[in-house]
Amino acid sequence: MEIRNLKNQFEFLSNPQKMALLKHTNTVLKIDNIKTNKIIFVYTKPKVGSTTLVTSMRLFASDKYTVIHMHDEEMLKALTNIKGVTINEIILYNKHIGYNVYVIDVYRSPIERKISAFFEKIDTLHFNNTPENIKKYSMDKIIKRFNKIFPYIGLGDNFLDKYQIPIPEYFDCINKYLMIKYHDVIYIKLRLCDSKLWDVILSKLLDHPIKIVKDYETTSKPINELYTQFKEQYKLPENFFNELRNCKYLDYYYSPQEKEKYLLEWNEKVTGPFKPFSFDEYNLYESISNENKYMDVIQTNHYLDEGCICNRCEEKRKIIKYKILNGIEVNERINHSETKNEIMTEKINEKINNYFKITPSQKKAIINSKLKNMKNFVNIRR
């Protein structure tokens, strides 16, 4: 076990202002209202499969665990307007006030993560254009832009860089996970390449049956066709491949045999060298891109399961779980606002069925009229 120089992570306990802010943060994150005593913080870098992890645990363990998803403090600020606290402080604060706390991170192989990170913001940041228009671009143009910013995207690892915990010398490539208890917090590290085993691993570690449900994959988005073509045609410049050989994260999370296999796969796709942006050039690129963007980069409400535990959402969760376990395609989400609208529609349907015998088109018109009236009433009351 590597013991690094870890600073006192509980300094905030003696800071009344910080404690008040952390208490407020819990209120904003709705931790104050949870029904369980167990919290799972999925605290990962973006584009590592974390949304699938969050949705799966919410669907199959919402009665046992509350699941909160965070990438970094920037995401925390964007979603809650809270600044001045770190995610590590939120984690330790909740342990301090009595919750059983788990923290989960995921490692994804570096080239695939960079590609996914690039396509996540290809419209909102990198080209400042709609997916429909970007699809018309030549593949050479897409690849050139990706290579220009290659060294600066999909970086870092929360488990090694952010958690501030003692870490084992090697990742456990036999059991396919790490689990460390530190300050009475359970830290779990998974790998995306083992995602087919996540249900077995998590069911064991969380002592509760979990089934993995794929969610928010790039292949299901409007840009999916271009994304697939890119992966098929992309060749890795040899200078990038040489840097890949020395990737410290790849060395830690993959066994020598796994690393060799991964390098061999990419060695077959190596092409001539490419000169990316310098550090200063990339900073200028990012600054101009951020100034020009007109679409929101932070994605909200993109989970199949948003995590609401009201009675209606719990009932819908049971229906969706039944469909998943029986191989039935799921096209709906568990979202509280949508669920409320479904309740309104069901009540209107019931009244129409009880008192009228009309055509489907007439029925639809009545429903739309009733919903509009209800929404107008709500707006007036506000």
The answer on 352 and 239 residing in a single domain is no
% of the chain with per-residue pLDDT over 90: 63
**Is residue 308 a part of any domain in this protein?**
no
Domain closes at, from 292, 308, 323: 292
Number of domains in the chain: 2
- pLDDT tens-digit map of 21-38: 999 999 999 898 888 899
**Is residue 317 a part of any domain in this protein?**
no
**Is residue 1 a part of any domain in this protein?**
no
**Is residue 252 a part of any domain in this protein?**
yes
pTM to 2 decimal places: 0.83
User: What is the average per-residue pLDDT within 226-249?
Assistant: 97
- Residue 96 predicted with pLDDT over 80: yes
The answer on 344 and 237 residing in a single domain is no
Residue 381 banded pLDDT, cuts 50, 70, 90: very low
pLDDT given for residue 348 in this prediction: 46
pLDDT given for residue 214 in this prediction: 84
Structure tokens at 151: 């060294």
The answer on 345 and 287 residing in a single domain is no
The answer on 262 and 355 residing in a single domain is no
**Is residue 381 a part of any domain in this protein?**
yes
The answer on 209 and 98 residing in a single domain is yes
Structure tokens at 50: 């974390």
More confident residue, 248 or 374: 248
With vertex at residue 155, the alpha carbon angle to CA 246 and CA 279, rounded to the nearest 5 degrees, is 90
Domain closes at, from 292, 326, 345: 292
pLDDT given for residue 229 in this prediction: 95
The answer on 249 and 135 residing in a single domain is yes
The answer on 48 and 109 residing in a single domain is yes
**In 215-252, which positions are buried (b, 16+ CB within 10 angstroms) versus exposed (e)?**
bbebeebebeebbeebeeebebbebbbeebeebebbeb
User: What is the average per-residue pLDDT within 2-6?
Assistant: 51
Average pLDDT of the chain is 87
In angstroms, the Cα distances linking 205 to 56, 100, 186, 187, 352 are 14, 14, 10, 11, 50
| CB-CB contact of 97 with 182 (8 Å) | no
**Is residue 254 a part of any domain in this protein?**
yes
pLDDT given for residue 306 in this prediction: 81
Structure tokens at 364: 């639809």
pLDDT given for residue 342 in this prediction: 62
- Residue 315 predicted with pLDDT over 70: yes
- Residue 376 predicted with pLDDT over 80: no
The answer on 341 and 216 residing in a single domain is no
- pLDDT tens-digit map of 193-213: 999 999 999 999 999 999 999
**Is residue 305 a part of any domain in this protein?**
no
The answer on 341 and 270 residing in a single domain is no
Residue 378 banded pLDDT, cuts 50, 70, 90: very low
**Is residue 167 a part of any domain in this protein?**
yes
Residue 262: give the domain boundaries: 11-292
Domain closes at, from 258, 292, 326: 292
More confident residue, 277 or 368: 277
Give the Cβ contact number of residue 53 at 10 Å: 27
The answer on 176 and 42 residing in a single domain is yes
pLDDT given for residue 297 in this prediction: 56
- Residue 339 predicted with pLDDT over 70: no
pLDDT given for residue 343 in this prediction: 57
